[in-house]
C-alpha cells in the first residue's frame, strides 16, 4: 500500500470518528432538549401560580381556584402504601433470583418471565384488577389502600428486575471472599452485596416512585376522585396526577392550575431523585464498599 493511500485512509478514519462524535452529541443533546422543552413549558405556564398557598390550601370551584393540599396528602399516602407493599416483595424476589437460584433453572425462568409479563400489562388492566380484587372482593371500596396496593403490583416488576440486575453486577470476588471467610450466603447478601448494589437499588426505587406518582388510569378505578383531606387509608383520595387530568380534560378554565400542579409534580420527582442519590452516597460511599 502506497504512502498516499495510507494517508487517505487515516484521514477517512479521523473524519468518520468526528462524524460519529457529532452524531452522538446531537442525539444526547436532543434528549436533554426534550426535557428542557417540557420543563420550560411547565415553568412558563405554571410558575406564576406556584406558591405556599397553592401547596397548602384545598381546591375550590372544582380546582379552578385554591390549591392542592389534601391532594398532596392523598398522593403521598398512596405512594407510601405502594412502596411499603412492593419494596420488601421486590427485594426478596430479586435476592432469590440473583443469589439463590440459577438463571438456567426452571423456577428462575418462570419467575423472570412472570415479572416481564407483569411489567408489560397496561395500567388500565391493573386498574380493573385492583377494582375487582381490592375494592370489591376484599371490601376496601374506593380507598387510598386499594390504590396503593394496585400500584404496588404495577411497580413490583420494576423494583425486582432493577435490584436483580444490580445484585448480579456485583463482582463475584465479593462472594468468593465472603465464602472463604466462612460467612453464610444470607449474611453475605445482607452485609456485603446489598450495600454494594445500593446505587442500583436506589435507581429501582426512584423509578418505582416515578411510576407511582405519574399513574392515572389505575387510580381512577381504585382510589377515586374525592379531593377532601383523607382521614385514613380507607378513605377515597384524589392523587396529583388524577387532579391534573381532571383539570386539563374535564374542568373548563382549569388549564392554568393544571400547569401549576404539573410543575409541582415534576418538582417533587426531581427532589426525590436528588434525595435518593445523596442518601446512597452518604450511607454507602463507594470507597467504603470497595474496602
Whether residue 228 contacts residue 58, with contact meaning beta carbons closer than 8 Å, is answered with yes
Whether residue 155 contacts residue 86, with contact meaning beta carbons closer than 8 Å, is answered with yes
Q: What is the pLDDT of residue 58?
A: 93
Q: What is the pLDDT of residue 68?
A: 94
pLDDT 10s digits, 73-128: 999 999 999 999 999 999 999 999 888 877 667 888 888 889 999 988 999 999 99
CA-closest candidate to residue 207, choices 97, 98, 112, 119: 119
Q: What's the grid cell of residue 122? A: 397496561
For residue 199, the cross-strand partners are none
Q: What's the grid cell of residue 144? A: 387510598
pTM, 2 dp: 0.85
Per-residue pLDDT of the chain (291 residues; tens, 9 = 90+): 555 566 566 666 677 788 878 888 898 888 889 888 988 999 998 898 899 999 999 998 888 899 999 999 999 999 999 999 999 999 999 999 888 877 667 888 888 889 999 988 999 999 999 999 999 999 999 999 999 999 999 999 999 999 999 998 888 888 888 888 888 888 888 888 888 888 888 888 888 898 899 888 899 999 988 888 999 999 999 999 999 999 999 889 899 999 999 999 999 988 888 887 787 677 655 544 444
Give the number of other Cβ atoms within 10 Å of residue 122's Cβ. 10
Whether residue 160 contacts residue 118, with contact meaning beta carbons closer than 8 Å, is answered with no
Cα separation, 133 vs 147, in Å, equals 11
Whether residue 98 contacts residue 166, with contact meaning beta carbons closer than 8 Å, is answered with no
Q: Is the dihedral of CA 88, 90, 93, 95 positive or negative?
A: negative
DSSP at 50: -
Whether residue 205 contacts residue 218, with contact meaning beta carbons closer than 8 Å, is answered with no
Q: What's the grid cell of residue 67? A: 390549591
Amino acid at each position: 500500500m502506497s504512502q498516499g493511500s495510507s494517508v487517505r485512509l487515516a484521514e477517512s478514519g479521523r473524519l468518520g470518528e468526528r462524524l460519529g462524535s457529532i452524531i452522538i452529541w446531537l442525539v444526547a443533546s436532543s434528549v436533554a432538549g426534550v426535557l428542557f422543552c417540557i420543563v420550560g413549558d411547565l415553568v412558563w405556564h405554571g410558575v406564576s401560580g406556584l406558591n405556599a398557598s397553592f401547596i397548602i390550601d384545598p381546591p375550590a370551584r372544582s380546582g379552578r381556584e385554591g390549591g392542592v393540599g389534601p391532594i398532596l396528602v392523598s398522593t403521598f399516602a398512596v405512594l407510601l402504601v405502594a412502596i411499603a407493599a412492593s419494596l420488601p416483595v421486590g427485594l426478596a424476589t430479586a435476592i432469590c433470583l440473583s443469589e439463590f437460584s440459577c438463571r438456567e433453572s426452571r423456577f428462575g425462568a418462570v419467575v423472570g418471565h412472570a415479572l416481564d409479563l407483569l411489567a408489560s400489562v397496561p395500567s388500565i388492566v391493573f386498574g380493573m384488577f385492583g377494582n375487582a380484587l381490592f375494592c370489591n372482593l376484599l371490601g376496601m371500596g374506593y380507598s387510598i389502600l386499594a390504590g396503593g396496593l394496585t400500584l404496588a403490583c404495577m411497580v413490583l416488576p420494576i423494583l425486582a428486575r432493577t435490584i436483580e440486575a444490580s445484585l448480579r453486577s456485583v463482582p463475584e470476588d465479593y462472594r468468593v471472599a465472603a465464602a472463604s471467610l466462612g460467612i453464610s450466603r444470607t449474611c453475605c447478601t445482607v452485609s456485603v452485596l446489598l450495600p454494594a448494589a445500593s446505587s442500583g437499588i436506589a435507581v429501582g426505587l426512584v423509578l418505582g416512585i416515578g411510576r407511582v406518582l405519574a399513574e392515572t388510569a389505575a387510580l381512577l378505578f381504585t382510589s377515586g376522585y374525592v379531593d377532601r383531606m383523607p382521614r385514613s387509608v380507607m378513605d377515597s383520595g384524589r392523587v396529583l396526577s388524577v387532579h391534573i387530568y381532571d383539570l386539563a380534560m374535564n374542568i373548563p378554565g382549569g388549564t392554568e392550575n393544571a400547569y401549576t400542579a404539573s410543575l409541582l409534580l415534576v418538582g417533587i420527582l426531581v427532589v426525590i431523585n436528588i434525595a435518593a442519590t445523596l442518601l446512597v452516597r452518604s450511607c454507602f460511599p463507594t470507597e467504603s464498599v470497595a474496602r
